[in-house]
Amino acid sequence: MKILGHRGAAGTAPENTLISFDKGLELGVDGFEFDVQLSRDREVVVIHDERVDRTSDGTGWVKDYSLKELKSLNFGVGFKTYAPIPTLEELLEMLQDKSLIINVEIKTGLIEYPGIVAQVAGLLEKYNVTKQSIISSFEHRTIVEVIKDFPDLKTGLLYECGLISPWLYAQDMGASHLHPHYAFISPELVRECNLRGIGVNTWTVNEEWEIERAIVSGTDIAITNYPERFSHLRSE
Ligand code: G3P
Ligand code: MG
């Protein structure tokens, strides 16, 4: 199984900041999952929420801030440190030569961010990491756009509910992966997906019994806030 750091190594460092990705590298990961949104001046920035309030000392919507304004905020406050928001470009610069799995979650659920797919795909291409990247989203219309416009990219359909035959849904759409919450994984799911050449990656697996579920089900990837807890499970 491959182990990806969630938002870097969000259990022990300020999520989605370069400190967090550094920490993940130090702890040993096969790759990272992180989230992206667009600033007012259309920079792709690495941040989970649509608003800056929970993770920084600022307040308001990411979409209303210019990159310069976002850079003036501190995203390390929860860990009593200083950590600026990274752009996708800065993060890819850091990760580009490391042969890591790069799972970019595009947060188009609440805000549409027209054009974000092309921008993300363009940056992955620029840093020569397209082949090792997976684009995921809870907004499945975003995944359809990726499949249509950037067929070289792998795609992950995120969900956290009990779907009926999700392998048929993914197959019909042409998605390469399902990305279920761990509550919705099972050996049957993985078997049915694998029969169709569809991969299964699960999240956010932090406790022993959660990883046990992933092992028993046979998922390809487990995404965790604590890569150090599961590094012994990493395999080629
Ligand atoms: O991509 C896996 C996971 O990150 C999805 O949920 O809310 O943590 O982005 P969330
Ligand atoms: Mg995410």
Which ligand has the shortest distance to the CA of 46? Answer: 2
Instruction: Enter the ipTM.
Output: 0.99
Distance in angstroms (rounded) separating the CA atoms of residues 200 and 60: 35
In angstroms, the Cα distances linking 85 to 20, 47, 171, 183, 186 are: 11, 7, 36, 31, 36
Amino acid, res. 61? W
Q: From ligand 1's centre to the CA of 102, what distance in Å?
A: 14
Q: Is 179 in a helix, a strand, or coil?
A: strand
Tens of pLDDT, residues 85-143:
999 999 999 999 999 999 999 999 999 999 999 999 999 999 999 999 999 999 999 99
Domains identified in the chain and CATH numbers: 2-36+98-233 (3.20.20.190)
Q: Which two tokens stand for residue 130?
A: 């397209």
- Residue bearing the CA closest to ligand 1, atom 2: 203
Provide the CB-side half-sphere exposure for 236 (13 A, CA).
0
Confidence of residue 236 (pLDDT cuts 50, 70, 90): low
The share of the chain scoring above pLDDT 70, in percent, equals: 100
Residue 232: active-site member: no
- What confidence tier does 235 reach under pLDDT thresholds 50, 70, 90? confident
Q: Has 48 been annotated as catalytic?
A: yes
**Residue 108 carries which side chain, given as an amino acid letter?**
T
Distance 230 CA to ligand 2 centre (A): 19
